[in-house]
Structure 1
């Protein structure tokens, strides 16, 4: 979400480590799960020397065997293949979960590095005529990005060339980040883990290695192939000899069979109003004229195949706008500087479809479908309204869009009600993919695919007015480079159900419930149901600790609503599976009370199943765990360590089975409030998850 840093100096000061149940004092070390530093040359992957058809394709979902996530996440038209499972004479990078490394931001935490002349070759699992390549190439020495070719051949036939770019990747330094790899600290007074200090006003600026904290390495590009190819055909991606990119990292390939373009004959066709489908001339005014005509005649607006240049907001109200399909119709724009800034504080504008502001009554009956929005946002400026979709839209639908290179894919500023966001692909954002901000009610986000956001993937932020009666269901969220896959900040009677979240990188996790950012309280019910979270539980650099795959955070107020977490699977968590926490400065003010966990599966934790760093309580029923790296419950409470026991209590409602290296994860001696506090336990990387 667009916001300030997570606590300027939100450090957990040193505290005594206590382990009441044993006589051993555990060392206060923190070890990143994975293999340590990024491996620049891990050795070439084994090339297949077999028959002409190449190796059998390995299809995954979020880097997992699809059987492990059946019924969860978005149902999409494409099939995912990880590069590390394909035939290659390149170098496999990873696995690694250390932030600021190329493998850490890759799907599944592995990728393939190609130097010029090297290739990776995928075998198509089904017929396809289109591919999406997720890749990284180097930045320019002084920032700003470069371009480089990538050759695409099928079965050794005619070559198509993709032009890759790093103009939309490579951010550096402290929040809200910079494009300059040579920049000094943006906030010299903020604590940074790299110097293990909290600089005072008189402390000299810490020495840092430049570029400092490189991140947001990846981008993706789509290509329609010259024809339809069949299952078993071999798609080879080659970094050509003589490329100006010293290396090209391929993360994955998505392949799909794209149908013919949609034709809408009875409609306000934008070509009739002067729109240019070649993208050479600006089409914004022509689209406005088509919208005005459609509103008068009760027709739909139709965007035929083509690329339409739009460099500002298109204001939409009581109108339906359809494209020919998001592989065929693209609305593409430049980011434009504003002088003077707009009244809302924006210093840029750019392509976007916006409802009227809620202060002006908002828009209604807006229906947008079947086209792509391609922006030009290369830096994070939180005051800028440069989102793909924005404003307020009640009784509206957003369906079948592909949104890339905007700040936030969809940011709704309410109050507003009854919007349906379905079947969209939102990738390569500088901030969130979607945010319900302020008083969004009775709305649903279903079957959307999100990858490579610069902040929360999907968020509900109840600032000033509560979001209520909303559902996030059957979505897939992968590789947010900062913050969380799905985040709920306050609100009433909301549901997060049947989602798949994978590979958050830092300062966040898979699912997050936070009383923070000035949000209204959690009230009524909150249901977190049947979600799968994999390779989460990340490192929180402001606290120098690991988080949970799901973490509940009481910063601004108590969390005491009816919160039930049921049927979730937490797989291969880097640190904890479940964390309940408060910030040190308010640890004796706010609590997390009465959270219910039931029917949970935990397969692999680097540390504990539950980490409690707050006062309050939770109950557990039928929580089964295996491959647990540390004590099942790391119970620090509020770090006051009273002789009566921890300030956080656990209730065993039965059926809690399994554990790890220390025995049953919820052993009787842990209940209700035994202090088992290891402030920063060592990490034991778990084995890969498997069928339960």
Structure 2
């Protein structure tokens, strides 16, 4: 039971947290990064222009919910695994830590009884005045059932011929048929909304969020508030201004054709395209090649569209289209020298259809840049289908996606994803997927990835010469973890090197619902091929791990076919594990040097190898290169079997400065 309901172990803590914060504490703003003291993550993750404040640290007359890491619960999907629940008349009040003229509120409200979402008001006041109203929505939240999910809470199982954990059976092959509680597996509860306050407020001013009387929402959960001092709109007088080509900044008329005309003119005249402040309705792809498109800033220039059902499916299988900026297909040569910056893309995607091209940015873009965009409510923020090369994705905010935040898919090379902030994706936050053609020489660096609802914060599926460095990954929810190196999904093998350096993960190492085991904050998965490239994991910090810090696994049907070989771990810090520092459930080998670990819940090494238990020892061998302190020595040499398939969980204390 402890494995499956992490929050119940912390019941006493939960009781203490379910009262309003004392005024003396709440008046001192607590600024965090991924719900952590910023000192714990210095130099890691994205440098952003906003200050994060968790609602549970603010003044409130509501109820703090959590902590809980059990999937399908509101606390589990909250940043830091806690939030504040309000009913009509209740509030949460944040003290600004610095001057600000804009806020982002991350929240959840209930779904409609039969799906589809509701809207509900939230009042915003500053120091008792300057009242503004936000209209919250759950129309882009609340998914149910089995992958790829449904918006219908009353739906029967989407795949009754799949094995499910709830009955430990295949329902269609079970007599009598099991009763599955509806709604089945509710998830993807949260959304966020941005608000310009109209003036600049000082540090120490108080922003109060109040649920008004008469709200149709039975409850409103506030997770956090980001406050920001947004610069004035950027103006470009020497550019092809889309207004001159008929674009409508009120959003009432479709502006797609006008933007196309501006792009065509700008290419002929060797000018940039400028999108002034406003909301531009676009309900299809804008195809870009050899053009620079700049907005006034992503708070001021918003490109927003409806999802449109196609009369007949497109050749790529899409049954919908929607707002997005796309390079040409790689088969047609792709696009080159495209530069997008300074605007928001607001989509209208409410369900997951994997064949749909309803991403904010897509296609093949070589020798290009995407910088300073805000990407919201699309299927995937940025999905690139290569071959393509030499593209830089920087300084973007990617929020509330139905699927991935970003995916380098098929033959993407020599490209960089850096200083991006990703929150609340429905699949991997950042992924490199070498399907059919390997990706090569790509880097994910200094990004922050928070609360991926499904799968991983950062995922590598094959490829050569890959670097993942100085990222911050927090609060993965289920069926994945913070960082995965996986031979799966038809990916080409890992070759050359993989460098995973100087990253920090927190509250990762999730519970794998299908296997019913705890994963690692970083996990290596040999499902379809061996993992035997030059893999080095160096300088990382794994904090407050729900289960393991490191997991090495091969699925049971292929455990004697594929192995994980020659991994090198060095200069790591592990602060808190529910179970072990290392869980090995595969054949292979690894070396360890200067690994510091404290607050380890079970044994330092849980070494099951390939579960054949030969008398010669585990099929996974570990080499001690020194400096590993007491966590490793008793379990290490040469390949001792220390196998507890499902060890008991000891929730770790909160991480502290080393």
| Smaller-chain TM-score bracket | over 0.9
Please tell me whether residue 45 in structure 1 is matched to residue 19 in structure 2: yes
Contact 1:33 1:684 in 2 (8 A): no
How far residue 49 of structure 1 moved from its aligned partner, in angstroms, is 4.2
Partner of 2:492: 520
SS of structure 2 residue aligned to 1:556: coil
Partner of 1:13: none
Partner of 1:88: 60
Contact 1:527 1:563 in 2 (8 A): yes
Partner of 2:217: 245
Counterpart pick for 2:639 among 667, 673, 677: 673
Contact 1:352 1:390 in 2 (8 A): yes
SS of structure 1 residue aligned to 2:44: coil
How far residue 34 of structure 1 moved from its aligned partner, in angstroms, is 3.0
CA-to-aligned-CA distance 1:603-642 (integer Å, 9 cap, x gap): 0000000000000001000000000000110000000011
Partner of 2:165: 193
Partner of 1:262: 234
| Cα distance in 2 for residues equivalent to 1:522 and 1:673 | 25
Partner of 1:612: 584
Please tell me whether residue 159 in structure 1 is matched to residue 131 in structure 2: yes
Check 1:405–1:36 CA distance in 2 against 1; reply closer, same or farther (3 A cut).
Answer: farther
Please tell me whether residue 287 in structure 1 is matched to residue 253 in structure 2: no
| Cα distance in 1 for residues equivalent to 2:282 and 2:170 | 46
Counterpart pick for 2:351 among 364, 371, 379: 379
Check 1:638–1:29 CA distance in 2 against 1; reply closer, same or farther (3 A cut).
Answer: farther
Check 1:210–1:100 CA distance in 2 against 1; reply closer, same or farther (3 A cut).
Answer: same
1:488-637 counterparts in 2 under 5 A? 488-637=460-609
Counterpart pick for 2:426 among 442, 446, 454: 454
Please tell me whether residue 277 in structure 1 is matched to residue 249 in structure 2: yes
| Cα distance in 2 for residues equivalent to 1:511 and 1:50 | 39
Partner of 2:360: 388
Which stretches in structure 1 are left out of the alignment for 5+ residues? 1-27, 658-663
Contact 1:45 1:84 in 2 (8 A): no
Contact 1:472 1:495 in 2 (8 A): yes
Partner of 2:31: 59
| Cα distance in 2 for residues equivalent to 1:456 and 1:46 | 35
How far residue 579 of structure 1 moved from its aligned partner, in angstroms, is 0.2
Partner of 1:401: 373
Check 1:43–1:583 CA distance in 2 against 1; reply closer, same or farther (3 A cut).
Answer: closer
How far residue 135 of structure 1 moved from its aligned partner, in angstroms, is 0.1
SS of structure 1 residue aligned to 2:259: helix
Question: Which runs of structure 1 show a deviation greater than 6 angstroms over 4 or more consecutive aligned residues?
Answer: 37-43
Please tell me whether residue 436 in structure 1 is matched to residue 408 in structure 2: yes
CA-to-aligned-CA distance 1:508-562 (integer Å, 9 cap, x gap): 0000000000000000011000000000000111111110000000000100000
Partner of 1:169: 141
CA-to-aligned-CA distance 1:196-218 (integer Å, 9 cap, x gap): 22446354542111111100000
Aligned residue-pair number: 657
Please tell me whether residue 68 in structure 1 is matched to residue 40 in structure 2: yes
Contact 2:624 2:636 in 1 (8 A): no
CA-to-aligned-CA distance 1:76-124 (integer Å, 9 cap, x gap): 0000000000000000000000000000000000000000000000000
Please tell me whether residue 329 in structure 1 is matched to residue 301 in structure 2: yes
Contact 1:572 1:604 in 2 (8 A): yes
Contact 2:375 2:381 in 1 (8 A): yes
How far residue 672 of structure 1 moved from its aligned partner, in angstroms, is 1.8
Counterpart pick for 2:199 among 204, 210, 227: 227
Check 1:234–1:669 CA distance in 2 against 1; reply closer, same or farther (3 A cut).
Answer: closer
Contact 1:573 1:604 in 2 (8 A): yes
| Cα distance in 1 for residues equivalent to 2:7 and 2:433 | 33
How far residue 35 of structure 1 moved from its aligned partner, in angstroms, is 3.0
SS of structure 1 residue aligned to 2:550: strand
Counterpart pick for 2:8 among 35, 48, 60: 35
Check 1:41–1:684 CA distance in 2 against 1; reply closer, same or farther (3 A cut).
Answer: closer
How far residue 673 of structure 1 moved from its aligned partner, in angstroms, is 1.0
Partner of 1:688: 654
CA-to-aligned-CA distance 1:325-350 (integer Å, 9 cap, x gap): 00000000000001111010000000
Contact 2:20 2:64 in 1 (8 A): no
Please tell me whether residue 445 in structure 1 is matched to residue 417 in structure 2: yes
| Cα distance in 2 for residues equivalent to 1:306 and 1:688 | 44
Partner of 1:485: 457
How far residue 669 of structure 1 moved from its aligned partner, in angstroms, is 4.6
Partner of 1:22: none
Give the alignment's TM-score, normalised by structure 2: 0.98
| Cα distance in 2 for residues equivalent to 1:30 and 1:154 | 43
Contact 1:34 1:685 in 2 (8 A): no
| Cα distance in 1 for residues equivalent to 2:209 and 2:299 | 21
Counterpart pick for 1:359 among 331, 334, 345: 331
| Cα distance in 2 for residues equivalent to 1:529 and 1:204 | 51
How far residue 189 of structure 1 moved from its aligned partner, in angstroms, is 1.6
Please tell me whether residue 132 in structure 1 is matched to residue 98 in structure 2: no
| Cα distance in 1 for residues equivalent to 2:24 and 2:409 | 54
Please tell me whether residue 106 in structure 1 is matched to residue 78 in structure 2: yes
How far residue 42 of structure 1 moved from its aligned partner, in angstroms, is 7.8
CA-to-aligned-CA distance 1:444-489 (integer Å, 9 cap, x gap): 0000000000000000000011100000000000000000000000
Please tell me whether residue 644 in structure 1 is matched to residue 616 in structure 2: yes
Partner of 2:118: 146
How far residue 684 of structure 1 moved from its aligned partner, in angstroms, is 0.4
| Cα distance in 2 for residues equivalent to 1:583 and 1:391 | 33
| Cα distance in 2 for residues equivalent to 1:29 and 1:139 | 30
SS of structure 2 residue aligned to 1:84: helix
| Cα distance in 2 for residues equivalent to 1:317 and 1:296 | 12
How far residue 190 of structure 1 moved from its aligned partner, in angstroms, is 1.3
Check 1:591–1:226 CA distance in 2 against 1; reply closer, same or farther (3 A cut).
Answer: same
| Cα distance in 2 for residues equivalent to 1:82 and 1:414 | 39
Which fold has the larger relative contact order, with Cα–Cα distance below 8 Å and residues 6 or more apart in sequence? 1
| Cα distance in 1 for residues equivalent to 2:117 and 2:15 | 23
Contact 2:605 2:635 in 1 (8 A): no
